[in-house]
Amino acid sequence: MALEVRPVRSRSDLSKFIKLPFRLYKGQPNWVPPLLYERKRHLDRNKNPFFDHAEAEYFLAWRDGRPVGRISAHVDQRLNEVQQNEWGLFGFFECENDPEAAQALIRTAEDWNRERGRDRVVGPFDFSTNHECGLLVEGHELKPQILEFWHHPYYQQLLEGAGLVKAMDLYKYFLDVSDRTKILPVILELADKVESEHGIVVRNMSKKDFEQEVRRFMEVYNSAWEKNWGFVPLTDAELEDYAKQLKPLLDERWLGSPRRTARRSAPR
């Protein structure tokens, strides 16, 4: 059957783009379905502040009137400015175990970015490192957490078969504090020193002053991640958008925020 890759042009196309993973991952116990309204808003060029500094196109691969794969192609001018590169990006890659479709999708994303002067295509980014990014190649037995993918194991072969190679390893770290004897002693030693030596206090975030709390958190977040590969600092508009989305999920019992306190010199 003939394969065709077409840009998303209608509400019906967008719905198929968003819902394709539900069919591809049906019966997979470790895949966690996204919220449809959240995905629709995330992809909306008029609502997502990411598009204040970026442009994107969405594509579906069709066989005999049936979508078999999807991809986005996008340019993030803020990424290019911060990282001083000319990268083009791709993301939202999902596909049946169909090498022809995968290669056609990647080629389409490459062509779209090449037309905009990009010197390479890097991904998957949905849309940046502040969102879901990377390809799962190990740990398929684990469930993903917030802002993490779960991919079919065959995706690695599809992307490598389309000519892509690894750019960077992305790791996930998990700290189980239920048994403190398994925690490296240095972690507890450093934790004991953060206040006495650096004047840092960890406290719970408050919903009463939530917007400013998120702003304080993101100040630390942007500073901590600024030298990481592919990182793009959040803009004020993106920060406000994140705050609105996160507030309904905030549990004040567990969400902490660092606060630096001023220390007075001891009188002589």
Q: How confident is the model at residue 253 (pLDDT cuts 50, 70, 90)?
A: low
Q: Tell me if residue 99 falls in helix, strand or coil.
A: helix
β-bridge mates for residue 7, sequence order = 59
Q: With a cut of 60, say whether residue 258 has pLDDT above it.
A: no
CATH architecture of 3-161: 3-Layer(aba) Sandwich (3.40)
> From CA 163, how far away is CA 10, in angstroms rounded?
31
For 99-125, the pLDDT digits (tens) are 999 999 999 999 999 999 999 999 999
Do you know the residue count of the chain?
A: 268
Our CA dihedral for 217, 218, 219, 225, rounded to 10 degrees, sits at 120
pTM metric for this prediction: 0.85
For 202-213, the pLDDT digits (tens) are 777 777 777 788
* Percentage of the chain lying above the pLDDT 70 cut: 93
Q: How confident is the model at residue 267 (pLDDT cuts 50, 70, 90)?
A: very low
Residue ranges of the chain that CATH labels 3.40.630.30: 3-161
What is the average per-residue pLDDT within 206-230? 83
For 30-58, the pLDDT digits (tens) are 999 999 999 999 999 999 999 999 999 99
Q: With a cut of 50, say whether residue 265 has pLDDT above it.
A: no
The candidate with the shortest Cα–Cα distance to 202, out of 243, 255, 247, is 255
The candidate with the shortest Cα–Cα distance to 43, out of 60, 24, 25, 26, is 60
Of residues 29 and 242, the one with the higher pLDDT is 29
Cβ(73)–Cβ(88) under 8 Å? yes
Residue 166's Cβ-count burial label (10 Å; 0-12, 13-18, 19+) is exposed
Cβ(3)–Cβ(61) under 8 Å? yes
Tally Cβ neighbours within 10 Å of residue 118: 19
**Alpha-carbon torsion (156, 158, 161, 164), positive or negative:** negative
